[in-house]
Amino acid sequence: MPTQPTPRSHALTAMAAMRKFFQAPVLNSGLLWVLSDEDPLRQCRGCGEICELLRWGEVQRRRESTFQGSSPPRTIHSNFLELDHCASKTGCDTCRTLRRAFLLEQITRHDAERLRHADNQWPICAVLNLSSSGDCDLALTIKSPKAILFSATVHLSNDARPIGQTPKEAPSGPRSNLNSLRRVVDGCHRHHECSSRYRWSCRNPTWLLKILPNNRVQLIAGPPEAVDYVVLSYSWGNPATMPAAQWARIKGAGTKTINGQPVPERLNPFPVWDLPETMQDAIEISASLGVFYIWIDNVCIPKGTNWDMEASLMHEVYGNSVFTLVASSSTKATDRLLYDRQAWTQRGKACPLRDMWWLRNIPMPLDRVRFESPVSLRAWTLQEERLSPRIVYWAGQRWYWSCLECQVVEMGEFDWVSPVADTTPRSCPQRFLELCRSGDEDLLHEEWLDIVEAYTRRDLVAPRDRFLAIAGLAVRFYNAKAGNGGTVITEDYLAGLWKDNFARHLAWSVASAVEPRENLRRTAPSWSWASLPLQVQTRTKAPFKPSEHFKFIAVRHVEPADADTVLARTNTGDPSTDFINRGRAVEERGRGVKVVEVQGRFRRFVSEDALEISWDSIERKRDGRPGFDFGAFPGRSLYARNEVNGSILSKDAHSGEVVGQLDYLTPTDEKPTHQYTPYVQVGDEKEIVCLELGELAMLLLVPDHSQGWPESYQRVGVAIGYANRKGFFYGCETRNVHLT
pLDDT, greater one: 565 or 669: 669
Q: Are 204 and 223 in contact (CB under 8 A)?
A: yes
In this predicted structure, what is the pLDDT of residue 17?
43
Percent of the chain with pLDDT over 90: 64
pLDDT surpasses 50 at 419: no
**How far apart, in whole angstroms, are the C-alpha atoms of residue 606 and residue 627?**
19
427: amino acid identity, one letter: S
40: amino acid identity, one letter: P
Nearest CA-CA partner of 318 in 225, 220, 390, 254: 390
**How far apart, in whole angstroms, are the C-alpha atoms of residue 24 and residue 31?**
9
What phi and psi values does residue 69 have, to the nearest 5 degrees? 165, -175
By mean pLDDT, which of 79-93, 129-143, 155-169, 270-284 is the weakest?
155-169
Burial class of residue 672, CB neighbours in 10 A (0-12, 13-18, 19+): exposed
**How far apart, in whole angstroms, are the C-alpha atoms of residue 409 and residue 181?**
9
**Residue 111: which residues within 8 A CB-CB, separation 6 or more?**
396
Cα-only R_g, the chain: 31
By mean pLDDT, which of 151-160, 210-219, 469-478, 660-669 is the weakest?
151-160
pLDDT surpasses 80 at 315: yes
Torsion of CA 666, 671, 675, 677, to 10 degrees: -30
> Average pLDDT, whole number, for the chain?
86
**How far apart, in whole angstroms, are the C-alpha atoms of residue 29 and residue 90?**
9
In this predicted structure, what is the pLDDT of residue 24?
38
Predicted confidence (pLDDT) per residue in 60-70, tens digit: 988 988 889 99
What mean pLDDT is predicted for residues 178-200?
85
Q: Are 495 and 529 in contact (CB under 8 A)?
A: no
User: Cis peptide leading into 560, omega within 30 of 0?
Assistant: yes
Predicted confidence (pLDDT) per residue in 134-154, tens digit: 778 999 999 999 999 999 999
**How far apart, in whole angstroms, are the C-alpha atoms of residue 1 and residue 33?**
39
pLDDT surpasses 50 at 38: no
**Residue 296: which residues within 8 A CB-CB, separation 6 or more?**
209, 232, 275, 279, 282
**How far apart, in whole angstroms, are the C-alpha atoms of residue 71 and residue 61?**
12
**How far apart, in whole angstroms, are the C-alpha atoms of residue 641 and residue 649?**
6
In this predicted structure, what is the pLDDT of residue 42?
55
DSSP assignment of 572-632, as one string?
-S-HHHHHHHHHHHHHHHHHTEEEEEEEEEEEESS-TTPEE--GGGTEEEETTEEEE--TT
Q: How confident is the model at residue 16 (pLDDT cuts 50, 70, 90)?
A: very low
**How far apart, in whole angstroms, are the C-alpha atoms of residue 224 and residue 202?**
9
b/e code 183-209 from CB counts within 10 Å (16+ = b): ebbeebeeebebeeebebeeebbbbbb
DSSP assignment of 182-222, as one string?
HHHHHHHHHH-SHHHHH---SPPPSEEEEEETTTEEEEEEP
What phi and psi values does residue 148 have, to the nearest 5 degrees? -80, 120
**Residue 720: which residues within 8 A CB-CB, separation 6 or more?**
507, 509, 542, 544, 661, 696, 697, 698
Distances (CA, A) of 382 to 330, 334, 455: 16, 21, 7
**Residue 312: which residues within 8 A CB-CB, separation 6 or more?**
471, 472, 475, 584, 587, 588
What 3 state SS string does 538-581 have? EECCCCCCECCCCEEEEEEEECCCCCCHHHHCCCCCCHHHHHHH
**How far apart, in whole angstroms, are the C-alpha atoms of residue 270 and residue 222?**
18
Burial class of residue 466, CB neighbours in 10 A (0-12, 13-18, 19+): buried
In this predicted structure, what is the pLDDT of residue 420?
40
Q: Are 33 and 42 in contact (CB under 8 A)?
A: yes
What mean pLDDT is predicted for residues 423-429?
61
**How far apart, in whole angstroms, are the C-alpha atoms of residue 345 and residue 86?**
14
Mapped onto helix, strand or coil, the DSSP state of residue 665 is coil
In this predicted structure, what is the pLDDT of residue 713?
96
CA dihedral for 424, 430, 432, 438, sign (positive or negative):
negative
In this predicted structure, what is the pLDDT of residue 670?
63
By mean pLDDT, which of 124-128, 344-348, 627-631, 696-700 is the weakest?
344-348
b/e code 100-137 from CB counts within 10 Å (16+ = b): bbbbbbbbbbebbeebeeeeebbbbbbebbbeeeeebb
pLDDT, greater one: 568 or 637: 637
pLDDT surpasses 50 at 254: yes
The residue count of the chain comes to: 740
DSSP conformation class of 722: -
By mean pLDDT, which of 31-40, 662-671, 716-725 is the weakest?
31-40
